Amino acid sequence: MKAYQIKIEILGSTPLIWRRIIMPAGATFNRLHDVIQNVFNFQSGYPQDAYHLFHFDLSEENIKVTNDEEAYEEHQQFKKNRKRFEARLKAMKSEFAERQLENLKMVIRKPTGTKIDKYLEERSQIYYVYDYGDDWRILVSLEEIVEDYHYGYPTFIDGAEVAPPDDVGGLPGFYKFLKVYHDESHPEHIEIRAWAKGQGFREYDPEHINMCMKFLKYKKTEWDKIEHKNFSPVD
């Protein structure tokens, strides 16, 4: 089975927070989002309902893949009424109107209906932005195309450094959080530990990451077909 070996890294982190994964080809951008969420400490992905916005930047193709329903609907309205929108914004003769028109021309696609293969193979790198408040900027890099992968789910290979929890305040907030989290003498230590537990935070744990990957199955393998063929239900 064809698969991709990818490296996922949080830009700006020092030391670099990164993970290496092999995932079967044919994944949607939503599945790639799920992978990113699960290899870090983020919670806005499978199997939870999304509660933060995210997008994949395919600006070279004039495409943004996002879970932002409002942006998607706005683009659909622009497509239906393009001439009226262009005339109204051009009449305003302002930099804001020009930027707004360029934004509306950006094709908005839903992550559940768009597959990564073409873009990952042609670009080798895809930028992902998660949580516009904390503003996590993440780079997905294609390292190798694997032709003989045997699993229908991603596999964790390698990585380094503990990852941030949701709503920690971006990288500056994360580094402050770590100091308090590990300093038992800090007056907020107990409080921050309780908060971290509620956020699903955990130290870097390769075994846990690999377990999470197995729940992201999206491909039928030959082994699945053999199991299904040999299965005999008990009357």
Q: Do 3 and 50 sit in the same domain of this protein?
A: yes
Both 26 and 74 in one domain: the answer is no
Which domain CATH number covers 28?
3.10.290.30
Q: What is the model's pLDDT at position 140? A: 98
Whole-model pTM: value is 0.87
pLDDT tens-digit readout, 33-59: 999 999 999 988 655 666 799 999 998
Instruction: Give the dihedral sign, CA 60/19/174/12.
Output: negative
Domain that holds residue 102: 68-107
For 111-127, b/e burial (b = at least 16 CB within 10 A) is beebebeebbeebeebe
Residues 83 and 177 placed together within one structural domain of the fold? no
Find the mean pLDDT for residues 14-32: 97
37 shares its domain with 101: no
Mean of pLDDT over the chain? 89
Per-residue pLDDT tens over the stretch 55-103:
999 989 999 999 999 999 988 887 777 777 667 767 777 777 677 667 6
Please count the structural domains in the chain: 3
The pLDDT tens digits of the residues spanning 167-210 come to 999 999 999 999 999 999 999 999 999 999 999 999 999 999 99
Indicate whether 16 and 59 sit together in one domain: yes
Q: What is the DSSP track for 131-199?
A: -TTTTEEEEEEEEEEES----SS-EEEEEESPPPBTTS-HHHHHHHHHHHHH-TTSTTHHHHHHHHHHT
Residue 114, pLDDT above cutoff 90: yes
For residues 76 and 188, membership in a common domain is answered with no
Shared-domain flag, residues 129 and 20: yes
